[in-house]
Chains A and B, each alone.
Chain A
Amino acid sequence: MNVIKSLTHNKVAMVGFAILSMFILIAVFGPYLYDGNPWRMVQRPFIPPFQNNQYILGTDTLGRDVLAGLIHGARISLLVGLVSTAIALLIGIPLGAYAGYYGGWVDEVLMRFTEIFQTVPSFALAIVLVAIFEPSVYSITGAIAIVSWPPVARLVRGEFLSLRSQEYVLAAKLNGQTNRNIIMREILPNSLSPIIVLASLMVASAILLESSLSFLGLGDPEIMSWGYMIGAAKTVLRQAWWLSFIPGAAIAVTVLSLNLLGEGLNEALNPKLSGNREN
């Protein structure tokens, strides 16, 4: 495979891939390997990192184990990032495909609809949605999906617009294939590579969004997350800066690794387009 070869030759992308793999392993197996409830008070509060042998990263304002919080936070970040991106793709791909394939008034209506979602300040919309439907994993994931599908729809529409007049599509039409078949079997597989690149970058921004929401106190009250840890340590920034530094660094490294991998994928899949990534 050319793509995999070109990706493995890209050192920067491989660094991203390595960090990301570690993050996924921690998210999936961490809670089983490291025994610790992130909510339980285990020691006196404010133990700095690397001073207590049992709790390596120390304890927070209420004496909870920071390392346990970090491990459980990885899980929720990954879960919300992946699921919300999947939902956004499920909304954006069909909308964009129909708009681009049929054109005309279908395109007009669907794109006006998309435009409204693109105009609205997305983070403010996410806040409003999570607040109204009460903070939970479901409302957070749903809200992030709702604010992140428009770029997918636009991208897919553009791909379909340019591919629908290709010869193989015309041939399929002459063959008497149904529109549904042409969309699903002929055009979609050919527009997958930019969608994959966009999706990898969307997971990164979904993780950032989730952490921002839980920082504002809109996290699921039952689940420990990185954003919540930073929000809870906000008032003690002067006394215990590491309590906000550690989870923030975890977010930055994770998001960075996803961006690096996404760029590597972009270069491997669309050599001509590399660099065109904003929206």
Chain B
Amino acid sequence: MSVQTLIYIAGRLVKGAMVLLVIAIFNFFLIRMAPGDPAQVMAGEAGATDEIFLQQLREQFGLDQPLYYQLWIYVSNLLQFDMGITYRQQMPVFDLIMDRMPATLLLTGAAFALSLLLGVLAGVVAAAKHRKFMDSVITVAALIFYATPLFWLAMMAALFFSVYLEWLPSFGMQTVGENLTGWEKIKDIGLHLILPATTLGLFFTAVYARMTRTSMIETSRLDFVKTAKAKGMKPSRVTTHHVLRNALLPVVTLAGLQAGQLIGGAVLTETVFAWPGIGRLMFEALFQRDYNLLLGVFFISSAMVVLFNLVTDVIYCVVDPRIELSK
């Protein structure tokens, strides 16, 4: 790796850290704006309301200190992965989120892989059959999935595949009451994953299919493709080796930018399918009016996106040295 690449990566790291710092400060002020005095909320949960107890709570949590000091405490706590405790369960917010993290990573990862694969495939087919029947079918399907509310699609899929056909489970991540191990357990989780991952992925499949189709059609009009055809290369080889390779770059860039959207979608799919991830946790926090937990999930999901963008940036930079190093 060249020095330039290292400087570039360091720059990206600093930028990511700055973004997180801004979000942390933003979070701090949002918590202060949340309805109700935090001390009173905590006291209410503990079933006490007298003034001395409230004062004790304020001192204990530093709520009587000046604002800038509180902000400093908040941010330095965040750096040590301390996000306070939940109002209700009195559990550390960070631990609760990390408990739920693997389920969300599994769901979003599966949905991402599925949508990229299916979307690119559909886009390539549509472009190859440009202005023919298959192209119209794929374009119309993409338009419909692009317009359908994710949560509604999830509910309808649950209704059809789980209630009507009874093929797939639509609740939770594992069968309740059966202590499965080894392959049985993996199979069980896999079955539970199909519906949430597919419904979450379908919206993005539509996005990638449209993007791939446009990009393929545009690339196939370029001169080097004409050259390849003119020298007698097989059409299928032109498509895969010349057009697809070059058409994929904008699609992959877009896919990297969509990590945040995927998390937003996970809140809805996890709510519908009772998938025990951080999206579902966000819904529970809303339901219990636990603002500390809510903002904790928000911060961690933002951090995930920052991290994901960082990783894709670095991969790009290593894979394709042409990408501007100056920025």
Chain A positions within 8 Å of B, measured between CB atoms, are 115-116, 118-125, 127-129, 131-134, 204, 208, 211-212, 215-218, 227, 230, 234, 237-238, 241, 244-245, 248, 251-253, 255-256, 259-260, 275-279
CB distance from B117 to the nearest CB of A (A): 18
CB distance from B11 to the nearest CB of A (A): 13
Instruction: Tell me if A134 and B35 are in contact (CB < 8 A).
Output: yes
A119-B305, A125-B298, A252-B148 are known contacts. Are A133 and B19 too (CB-CB below 8 A)? no
Residue of B nearest to A226 (CB): B149
Residues of A within 8 A of B247 (CB): none
Residues of A within 8 A of B294 (CB): 127-128, 131
Tell which of A217, A251, A255, A259 touches B287, judged by Cβ atoms closer than 8 Å.
Answer: A217
Q: B244-261, CB under 8 A of A: which get 1 and which 0?
A: 000000000010010111
Besides the known contacts A230-B151, A275-B214, 20 further A-B residue pairs in the complex with CB atoms under 8 A apart? A116-B19, A116-B23, A120-B305, A121-B264, A121-B302, A124-B260, A124-B264, A124-B297, A127-B282, A132-B291, A134-B35, A204-B147, A212-B151, A218-B286, A230-B155, A251-B149, A252-B148, A256-B143, A259-B147, A276-B214
CB distance from B210 to the nearest CB of A (A): 8
Instruction: Tell me if B268 and A212 are in contact (CB < 8 A).
Output: yes
Q: Report the Cα distance A216→B279, complex, angstroms.
A: 11
Q: Report the Cα distance A230→B154, complex, angstroms.
A: 12
Instruction: Tell me if A116 and B22 are in contact (CB < 8 A).
Output: yes
Residues of A within 8 A of B149 (CB): 208, 211-212, 215, 227, 230, 248, 251-252, 255
Q: List 11 A-B contacts (CB under 8 A).
A: A123-B263, A124-B298, A131-B291, A131-B294, A132-B30, A215-B268, A216-B268, A230-B151, A230-B152, A241-B159, A251-B152
- Interface assignment of B97: CB less than 8 Å from any CB of chain A: no
Instruction: Tell me if B306 and A124 are in contact (CB < 8 A).
Output: no
CB distance from A238 to the nearest CB of B (A): 6
Residue of A nearest to B22 (CB): A116
CB distance from A204 to the nearest CB of B (A): 7
Tell which of A124, A217, A248, A260 touches B263, judged by Cβ atoms closer than 8 Å.
Answer: A124
CB under 8 Å from chain A, chain B span 293-325: 294-295, 297-298, 301-302, 305-306, 309
Instruction: Tell me if A248 and B264 are in contact (CB < 8 A).
Output: no
Q: B275-297, CB under 8 A of A: which get 1 and which 0?
A: 00000001100110101001101
- Interface assignment of B158: CB less than 8 Å from any CB of chain A: yes
Tell which of B35, B147, B264, B268 touches A122, judged by Cβ atoms closer than 8 Å.
Answer: B264
- Interface assignment of B272: CB less than 8 Å from any CB of chain A: yes
Interface of B is mostly: helix
Residues of A within 8 A of B261 (CB): 121-123
Tell which of B23, B210, B214, B286 touches A216, judged by Cβ atoms closer than 8 Å.
Answer: B286
Tell which of A115, A123, A127, A259 touches B19, judged by Cβ atoms closer than 8 Å.
Answer: A115
Instruction: Tell me if A121 and B268 are in contact (CB < 8 A).
Output: no
Q: B11-53, CB under 8 A of A: which get 1 and which 0?
A: 0000000010011000000100111000000000000000000
Interface size on B, residues (CB 8 A): 54
A132-B33, A230-B151, A251-B149 are known contacts. Are A124 and B301 too (CB-CB below 8 A)? yes
CB distance from A1 to the nearest CB of B (A): 27
Q: Report the Cα distance A277→B264, complex, angstroms.
A: 21
Q: Report the Cα distance A279→B250, complex, angstroms.
A: 12
CB under 8 Å from chain A, chain B span 135-192: 143-144, 146-152, 155-156, 158-159, 163
Residues of B within 8 A of A129 (CB): 30
Chain B positions within 8 Å of A, measured between CB atoms, are 19, 22-23, 30, 33-35, 143-144, 146-152, 155-156, 158-159, 163, 207, 210-211, 214, 217-218, 254, 257, 259-261, 263-265, 267-268, 271-272, 282-283, 286-287, 289, 291, 294-295, 297-298, 301-302, 305-306, 309
Residues of B within 8 A of A237 (CB): 155, 158-159, 163
Instruction: Tell me if A124 and B282 are in contact (CB < 8 A).
Output: yes
Q: Report the Cα distance A179→B268, complex, angstroms.
A: 46
Residue of B nearest to A249 (CB): B152
Residues of B within 8 A of A252 (CB): 144, 147-149, 152
3 smallest CB-CB distances across A and B, nearest first, come from A123-B264, A248-B152, A121-B260
Q: Report the Cα distance A22→B280, complex, angstroms.
A: 37
Instruction: Tell me if B152 and A244 are in contact (CB < 8 A).
Output: yes
Of the candidates A124, A131, A278, the one having the most CB atoms from chain B within 10 angstroms of its own CB is: A124
Q: Report the Cα distance A230→B153, complex, angstroms.
A: 11
